[in-house]
Chains A and B, each alone.
Chain A
């Protein structure tokens, strides 16, 4: 997991060098300096020029040096006793140790440790959570497709204001009930305007069906939909814990799925030891938070 490791470290280095802005978080400032546009996600974010004007001429003249960062990286790579490799969990641990050893001024040390705790770790948890879910998800792609097909049918009926008859059970659903079911799927993703979203998804599916012999598109082919479905599947993290966690499994089925999950993570470029460590770390963070 080199890239995530390097990015975590680079984020730390840059944050230690930035001046605080009165009305905006340091993390937002760092991202704006990196050329991201935060207009939509963070109304408090400023432009590069505004940040620079407020920071004065001495920004970038202190903070951790590139040499310090590279030394941390070197010991991260050699942290594991059996393999030379780096992941962000190790990095954050090594970084913390290095900061303490550095014997900085109390305030600086506190500030640096806070970067790790408040910004880097939660963000990395989010990222690695995503990775884990995706690796886990591929074995559940049938489930995802089913969920998606059903969502399209419900939404279509809801838009047309028709009752919907479930083809399997024969149960008749009225508009009220349809709305309930749809909301259940949308809620974890925080869809703000369900009416527009339902229209959008149905239109997308119909267009795709027209080109595709009447078949619904794959649920992964539309980023927004995928996001919603994934959020729905993983709205309860507990669902996923038995499969991803290392340790004795209660049945062969789960065992097999776990094996497949690890295999897919390895395909994504992690070593097996890293998978184990990252999963354990992720579960700890999730349970703590």
Chain B
């Protein structure tokens, strides 16, 4: 019986994560009652993080001394990150501002901190939170948009904005008016009839690199921007022209992370020429592939991290000014409180075999204050 229920449980969770289809009209209708259907990446992330618990530190003598009796927010979604209240507050603040469409929306989120301070763990947690809420992706026939673009990209905000706002309650600023070359080709073959498009509801996935992607710096010599923006698939050149959107392989980090989050590990270890697509992707919401097939939309979050030495050498180079201005730095320092540092070790021990090792008197009294 037990085994059976395991198989059932697996099937159920698989089903919940598999994609479902709807028509364009259904999608637009549903947007009226459910803003999450057209929410951007930051909004979905905020929704996944959820409401904080407010802690009035004035009521606890120890916390009061540490936090100067302020009321602090504690996010259950970030449980297990000990002694990082300030960092997490700034991080959530970044997403909140991005969700409100402020300057942060156009910035690269950059976690700066010493080695082993929890940057990668934070990034992993953010990616896991990204997986919670589904995204809505344009679909033509059986084909999903290779860059997971939002159906709203089809509409030009100038011409159709007011109408969409009135009929479906979707604010005009949500329309980017940017569809991918892939979508444009489909639209042409449909003769401009958008009702032939369908909309798929899919779950972001780290495993399958759907709306959550990771890019790592590779070899200086052979790494080029194609690991970010994709490249032409030479096998398809037999049947397609070189500038045909279908001859393009949308396998770069920016392609896969549209509407989600792109993690750029050790960003400043990568050659500077690799970073340029990130600028236009965040600032203008689109970027150009290796072959000029047209602008490809990008509405996700770019999350980078590296340690201080690389950041310092990058920062001192005058040539990088434009880049630095578009980065929002969040510091992730080490934990500076003994009790919290101890909790980190306990957490690490819990995941190892040492958890059962002898010792640990049940009652632990704090050390005597030095006399």
- The residues in A between 52 and 79 inclusive whose CB is less than 8 angstroms from any CB of B are 57, 59-63, 65-70, 73-74, 77
Given contacts A13-B341, A126-B367, 12 further A-B contacts (CB under 8 A): A7-B342, A14-B336, A33-B66, A34-B339, A35-B66, A36-B62, A41-B369, A41-B371, A61-B114, A63-B334, A73-B345, A269-B360
Contacts of B371 in A (CB 8 A): 41
Is B338's CB under 8 angstroms from A34's CB? yes
Contacts of B360 in A (CB 8 A): 1-3, 269
Could you say which of A81-89, A176-184, A237-245 contacts chain B?
A81-89
Answer yes or no: A233 CB below 8 A from chain B CBs.
no
Q: How far does the Cβ of B362 sit from chain A's closest Cβ, in whole Å? A: 7
Question: Would A10 and B367 be within 8 Å (CB), given that A61-B308, A73-B349, A87-B359 are in contact?
Answer: no
Answer yes or no: A37 CB below 8 A from chain B CBs.
yes
Contacts of B36 in A (CB 8 A): none
Q: How many of chain A's residues touch chain B, expressed as a range?
A: 35 or more
- A contacts with B: majority SS: helix
How far is A17 from B349 in the complex, measured between Cα atoms in Å? 22
What string of 1s and 0s marks CB contacts (under 8 Å) between B201-238 and chain A? 00000000000000000000000000000000000000
- The residues in B between 326 and 350 inclusive whose CB is less than 8 angstroms from any CB of A are 331, 333-339, 341-342, 344-346, 348-349
Question: Would A65 and B359 be within 8 Å (CB), given that A14-B338, A35-B63 are in contact?
Answer: no
Is A123's CB under 8 angstroms from B367's CB? yes
What string of 1s and 0s marks CB contacts (under 8 Å) between B86-107 and chain A? 0000000000000000000000
A-side interface residues toward B, CB under 8 Å? 1-7, 9-11, 13-14, 17-18, 27, 30-38, 41, 47-49, 57, 59-63, 65-70, 73-74, 77, 83-87, 123-124, 126-127, 130, 268-271, 274
Q: Can you name the residue of chain B whose Cβ is closest to the Cβ of A27?
A: B370
Contacts of B342 in A (CB 8 A): 6-7, 9-10
Contacts of A123 in B (CB 8 A): 367, 370
Is B368's CB under 8 angstroms from A127's CB? yes
Is A48's CB under 8 angstroms from B68's CB? yes
Is B359's CB under 8 angstroms from A268's CB? no
How far is A77 from B66 in the complex, measured between Cα atoms in Å? 32
Q: Can you name the residue of chain A whose Cβ is closest to the Cβ of B357?
A: A84
